[in-house]
Structure 1
């Protein structure tokens, strides 16, 4: 089909899926965040096992020749301002960025919103199982590693002493939903947009990875497991197909006389 003779319907706004009911989606997304918080609290305890698993993970990473977490933290500790910024990023970006991502998709790309919400729900549900079967103390609690609890020393911190912290389960380090959700935000925005700059969204999970490791809240392996879980969810829950509508918008930017394929390719 010639771009000059593109049908009128191809000029419409892409992703014309009917937008789900707002109240229902609000309750679903609120429930997702609530399950994330309460589900981890249910898996509290098993302190001794969590520390044994932490030592095993640390030794496994060294055997696999993964980068040492201490090298990332050392880079952050070159200045109080940098480590404070990393702690702030860890404490404040995780939930708001994911919520903003879902809101934008809901308003602008309803079909992608439904897909992303399902993927995040599946990953979160699967992630809540691991603390029951594999409790894991974060590296900031593990002695003999050279790592320090940057949030406690430099602030801000979102955790209190484990014995008195009733708002979170600090022995649920694996998988890192901080990283898993950040990676899904990037994947979702890359899939839902067509800008040549959309790949820059990968900087969000990359920065998140450096932050969670550098602040000693997670091991590399926590992010690897989160990536595997997300990959499995994406393999099962497919994104919406590209339509003639979406391709038509791309055709508008092509020179006159250029042919484009308008189909259902992904």
Structure 2
């Protein structure tokens, strides 16, 4: 709880710092958009337009973005704590340092999400179809809407998937990768993140994991099942 409180305080500081850099965040957004087109990455606009006519699908994406991220993270951590305690501490540490590193990037590189790039045709699917996670950027005092890069939705989802793959047995354990895959598609379709946000989150996750790796050797071993477990 203390760790969560410290991270939340840091996030609030980042939110206050972003207030004076709205113009910079919008300029960075256009630059990221142009860079992605230069790199010939798939257009977020094309992906959004391919789905937006299916209202049930876009609402499902909005709900996944709004309601799955934190509950899935909490459920995975609780399960690791209760059933795979050797994996819990390294995973918690990885998420904490990934979040802290991401907050630094948010401060150094404020970035408006693609849903704010109305000039290129992107829309805010949460506001149009519901449920909406964010209010108006000018009056939203709780969240930092100019912190698109890196995507913590993707970073956390990938970190948890890897932790659960390492902590479980059986050929179907690789299906945990469905969570970060779906999360990536959802954050793009809803206009909340760019492809590069996910790329940077993945790279940052790898860097943090490498720096912490020497401190958590126990997490690399798949534990034997306990008595009574399948």
When normalised by structure 2's length, the TM-score is 0.90
> Quick check: 1:89 aligned with 2:64?
yes
Per the alignment, residue 111 of structure 1 pairs with: 86
Separation (CA, whole Å) in 2 of partners of 1:33 and 1:121: 8
| Distance apart, 1:76 and its partner CA | 2.0
The separation in 2 between residues aligned to 1:246 and 1:88, in whole angstroms, is 35
Shift of 1:79: 1.3
Indicate the residue corresponding to 1:137 in structure 2.
112
* Separation in 2, partners of 1:92, 1:32: 23
Q: How far 1:242 moved relative to its partner?
A: 5.7
Residue 147 of structure 1, CA deviation: 1.2
Partner of 1:42: 16
Q: Which residue of 1 aligns with 2:38?
A: 63
Q: How does 1:112-191 map to 2 (within 5 A)?
A: 112-191=87-166
Higher RCO (CA-CA < 8 Å; seq separation 6+): 1
Conservation of the 8 A alpha-carbon contact between 1:43 and 1:169: no
Query: Superposition RMSD on alpha carbons, in Å?
Result: 2.0
Give the equivalent residue in structure 1 for 2:5.
31
Large movers: runs of 4+ above 6 Å:
none
Q: Determine the C-alpha separation between the residues in 1 that align with 2:24 and 2:198.
A: 21
Deviation at 1:36, TM superposition (A): 6.5
Equivalent in 189, 201, 204 of residue 226 of structure 1: 201
- The corresponding residue for 2:171 is 196
Could you tell me which runs of 5 or more consecutive residues in structure 1 were left unpaired when the two chains were aligned.
1-25, 254-266
Determine the structure 2 residue equivalent to 1:246. Answer: 223
Q: Which has the larger radius of gyration?
A: 1
Output one character per residue of 1:131-168: Cα deviation in whole Å (capped at 9) or x when no partner: 22111011000132221111110010011111100010
Structure 2 vs 1, CA of residues 40 and 90 (structure 1 numbering), >3 Å: closer, same or farther?
A: farther
The aligned counterpart of 1:216 is 191
Aligned residues: 223
DSSP 3-state at the match of 1:172? coil
Find the counterpart in structure 1 of residue 212 from structure 2: 237
Higher helix proportion:
2
